[in-house]
């Protein structure tokens, strides 16, 4: 791939051209008819507008303190944390990641359902299993595994904003948990490992939404709990055990995991989409075409794996269509289509096997190895597809970058594209290891970082100067346009995940995942956030509000 790094001047000229165009709001931000992109300041009076204009977008210094720090103009409150009751039966799961707010009524941006992914557990906190004890792996009990399976998957909670404060409606009939044991339909004609129903979802990292207002939750590191099926040179299969050891108690094949899962938030009904391939799905970002067919972008977050897109052949289908993988060197989408590929026919028995072993199929077709594709967002102004490449330490890429894909003629179903590096991580740009992305109403790009807990703040490692993981924004308009500005710093060992704006653009939902992850002794945890009485760190979803959020969402009008 021709690596093109935009400098700030080029970026400004690129954005300047775009900023006179129409802002195409992300789905659901455009869903609320009480606000529009041309009137995103809503009811703000002249005085408030002037106040926002004067508010600087101040860079927060990097910090290693154990707290959630915010730049001037922002405040936060904890909405829900691990263990909170959502109704009489169920509690909020662990390690929250992707969040998504779906209003129940398009005319009311302050009342709706919040979906939250629960990616994985820290056994010491959740099941009491201490992985640091010798031979402990053999001694994880079935009860402990059951507790862990309960704490992954996702939560649906009804939330409302009252007098500026978001609250969970405990015991709302729509509140529910999806867990590692929830039965799921399979959207495919052939059984997978002889099953037509799968049990549970896990490793739910990021996700997306559909135009028909369901949730896509993506199964990423499923092999950590169910292991993986490996094939030798003679195509003989063997089982590589998981680190969590769930398969000791449940005989669920790894082939039932590593899919994009669709959840209907109103009913809780779940289905796995085989046509989108099986790998460590980070996220799934959908765009609807004029004829109602859909295009789904999804990346495989593993060193030197790939970027994919599914293009449906029928309106609204996540089954009928073709899965492609990116050759970013030549700007081509390569079809994983057994029927029309002799190399795939030679190596796999049918299309189902191609999809189950998508990584191998992609490599046979000549897909480009990427440095761990994470979140994918579509620029609401230019339509460009932005992909976080978090890092690839094996290849000496410690700080990652953000890749930009421009589809030929701006058509999402195009088979050719242009790839370039939009922004490189590193000291010069002030961020490292980009992960989640979100565009707001004004087209500002918000980025979270994910330096690993074991590497952060370690003397002699390249992450030292970045201190704790953070939330950054790249303003689109005004004198700060193109700068990477740190606006929040995470508690110790944590990463921010799942940024999602409320429909009126006045609140940012944000997950605080794995605070205190380096803890080895419950009496002496490495973080105490969110500073509960028990001093045990807890993953939680926070709401961030304040003048700066309002300013950013109205920036195209204020500057």
**Binding partner of residue 305 among ligand FEO, Ca ion, none, CB under 5 to 8 Å per kind?**
none
If one asks whether residue 205 binds ligand FEO (CB under 6 A), the answer comes out as: yes
Minimum separation from the CB atom of position 516 to Ca ion (A)? 17
> Contact with Ca ion (CB under 5 A): which of 413, 450, 517, 550?
450
Contacts of 113 (CB under 8 A, 6+ apart): 101, 102, 104, 156, 157, 158, 159, 174, 265, 266
Residue 376 and residue 301: Cα distance in Å, rounded?
Answer: 11
- β-strand partners of 294: 288
Contacts of 27 (CB under 8 A, 6+ apart): 209, 211
Minimum separation from the CB atom of position 39 to ligand FEO (A)? 36
- Cβ distance 271 to 192 under 8 Å? no
Buried b (16+ CB within 10 A) or exposed e, 309-334: bbbbeeeebbbebbbbbbbbeebbbb
Residue 26 and residue 503: Cα distance in Å, rounded?
Answer: 10
> Contact with Ca ion (CB under 5 A): which of 375, 407, 480, 550?
375
Compute CA distances 352 → 139, 188, 278, 320, 343, whole Å.
Answer: 37, 9, 10, 13, 15
- Give the contact letters, 188-227, x = binds to Ca ion (CB under 5 A), - = no: -----------------x----------------------
3-state helix, strand, coil in the chain (%, to 5): 15, 35, 50
- Give the contact letters, 420-449, x = binds to Ca ion (CB under 5 A), - = no: ---------------x--x-----------
**Binding partner of residue 413 among Ca ion, ligand FEO, none, CB under 5 to 8 Å per kind?**
none
Number of H helices, E strands in the chain: 11, 33
Residue count, binding to Ca ion (CB under 5 A): 6
Nearest to 275 by CA among 291, 289, 290, 293: 293
Minimum separation from the CB atom of position 87 to ligand FEO (A)? 27
Structure tokens at 526: 């490495």
- Give the contact letters, 271-310, x = binds to ligand FEO (CB under 6 A), - = no: -----------x------------------x---------
358-377 residues near ligand FEO, rule: CB under 6 A: 374
**Binding partner of residue 327 among Ca ion, ligand FEO, none, CB under 5 to 8 Å per kind?**
none
> Contact with ligand FEO (CB under 6 A): which of 35, 84, 119, 550?
119
**Binding partner of residue 375 among ligand FEO, Ca ion, none, CB under 5 to 8 Å per kind?**
Ca ion
Dihedral (C-alpha) 356, 360, 364, 368: value to the nearest 10 degrees? 110
For Ca ion, which residue has the nearest CB?
450
**Binding partner of residue 262 among Ca ion, ligand FEO, none, CB under 5 to 8 Å per kind?**
none
Complex with Ca ion: residue 27 or 475, whichever CB lies closer: 27
Complex with ligand FEO: residue 497 or 553, whichever CB lies closer: 497
Residue count, binding to ligand FEO (CB under 6 A): 6
Residues that bind Ca ion (CB under 5 A): 205, 374-375, 435, 438, 450
Residues that bind ligand FEO (CB under 6 A): 119, 205, 220, 282, 301, 374
């Amino acid at each position: 791939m021709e690596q093109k790094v935009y400098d700030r001047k080029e970026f400004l000229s690129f954005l300047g051209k775009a900023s006179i165009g129409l802002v195409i709001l992300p789905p659901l931000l455009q869903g609320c008819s009480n606000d529009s992109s041309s009137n995103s300041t809503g009811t703000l009076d002249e005085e408030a507008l002037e106040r926002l204009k004067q508010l600087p977008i101040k860079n927060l210094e990097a910090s290693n303190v154990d707290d959630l720090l915010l730049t001037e103009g922002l405040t936060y409150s904890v909405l829900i944390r691990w263990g909170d009751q959502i109704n009489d039966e169920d509690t909020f799961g662990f390690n929250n990641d992707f969040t998504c707010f779906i209003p129940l009524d398009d005319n009311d941006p302050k009342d709706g359902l919040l979906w939250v992914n629960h990616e994985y557990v820290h056994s010491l906190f959740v099941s009491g299993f201490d992985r640091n004890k010798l031979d402990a792996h053999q001694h994880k009990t079935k009860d402990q595994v059951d507790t862990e399976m309960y704490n992954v998957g996702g939560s649906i909670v009804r939330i409302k904003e009252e007098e500026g404060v978001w609250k969970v409606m405990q015991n709302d009939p729509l509140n529910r948990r999806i867990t590692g044991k929830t039965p799921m339909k399979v959207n495919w004609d052939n059984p997978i490992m002889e099953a037509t129903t799968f049990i549970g979802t896990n490793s739910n990292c990021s996700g997306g939404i559909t135009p028909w207002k369901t949730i896509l939750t993506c199964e990423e590191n499923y092999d950590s709990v169910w292991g993986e099926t490996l094939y030798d040179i003679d195509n003989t299969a063997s089982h590589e055990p998981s680190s969590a050891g769930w398969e000791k108690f449940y005989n669920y094949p790894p082939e039932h995991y590593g899919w994009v899962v669709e959840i209907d938030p109103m009913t809780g009904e779940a289905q796995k989409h085989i046509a989108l391939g099986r790998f460590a799905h980070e996220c799934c970002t959908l765009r609807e075409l004029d004829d109602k067919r859909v295009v789904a972008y999804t990346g495989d977050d593993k060193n030197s794996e790939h970027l994919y897109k599914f293009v449906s052949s029928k309106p609204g289908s996540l089954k009928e269509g073709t899965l492609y993988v990116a050759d970013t060197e030549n700007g081509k989408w390569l079809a994983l289509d057994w029927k029309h590929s002799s190399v795939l026919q030679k190596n796999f028995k049918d299309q189902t096997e191609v999809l189950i072993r998508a990584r191998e199929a992609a490599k046979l077709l000549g897909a480009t190895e990427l440095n761990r594709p994470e979140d994918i967002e579509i620029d609401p102004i230019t339509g460009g597809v932005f992909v976080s490449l978090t890092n690839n330490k094996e290849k000496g890429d410690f700080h990652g970058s953000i890749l930009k894909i421009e589809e030929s003629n701006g058509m999402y179903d195009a088979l050719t594209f242009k790839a370039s590096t939009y922004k490189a991580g590193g000291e010069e740009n002030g961020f490292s290891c980009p992960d989640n992305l979100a565009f707001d109403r004004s087209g500002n790009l918000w980025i979270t970082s994910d330096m690993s807990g074991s590497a952060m703040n370690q003397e002699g490692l390249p992450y030292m100067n970045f201190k704790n993981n953070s939330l950054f924004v790249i303003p689109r308009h005004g004198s700060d346009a193109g700068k990477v500005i740190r606006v929040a710093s995470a508690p110790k060992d944590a990463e921010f995940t799942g940024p999602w704006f409320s429909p009126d653009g006045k609140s940012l939902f944000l997950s605080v995942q794995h605070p205190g992850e380096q803890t080895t002794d419950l009496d002496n945890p490495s973080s105490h956030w969110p500073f509960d009485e028990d001093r045990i760190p807890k993953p939680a979803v926070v709401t961030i509000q304040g003048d700066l959020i309002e300013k950013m969402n109205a920036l195209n009008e204020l500057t």
